[in-house]
Amino acid sequence: MVDRFNADSKTIGTIFLIINGVNAMMALAGTIFCKKYGPIYSMMGAHVIGTFFTFLIPFAPDLPTLCLCLLGRNMVKTMDQGPKTVYLTLSVDKDKQSYALAMQNTFSKLSNSIAPIITGILANADMQWFSFILAGIVRVGVYEVGVLSLFWKDRHLIPK
């Protein structure tokens, strides 16, 4: 943002303050969508929209467009946390719920720790923009397909 759009640190700080505030409020909205549409549809809707905005980030021609892409991505980024927890607690036996939630959290943290390494390698090669495209491809190609293949058969067992 600094190099590409000549934004100063105060502007960048303000942008991310607003984006993170919206992100926190949207986590609460995720529970509303979960009650209305059920956990699987809420998770998938949030993921697809978030992936779409992630993919658009490197193509933003100016700072306001970039802010809209970041805001759109972050508005749905945390909306899947509530539905994911609801789904896991409803679909896993009571004696295995802690294990299932811990495993889900562990894999999430592991993937979040690998992403900065890949982004750093791409940034050193002056290809940081590709990290957003790669994130979108991996999110849809691996995560979305994996979630759908694992959970789709049980979607009718989970109440809305």
pLDDT tens by residue, 108-157: 777 778 888 888 999 899 888 888 888 777 777 776 677 667 666 665 66
pTM: 0.70
Per-residue pLDDT at 39 exceeds 80: yes
CA pseudo-torsion sign 76, 132, 51, 11: positive
Q: How many domains does the chain have?
A: 1
Q: What is the CATH number of the domain that holds 80?
A: 1.20.1250.20
Give Rg (Cα) of the chain. Answer: 17
Which residue segment(s) compose the domain that 100 sits in?
A: 2-157
pLDDT at residue 121 in the model: 92
pLDDT in tens, 45-61: 888 888 888 888 888 99
Per-residue pLDDT at 1 exceeds 70: no
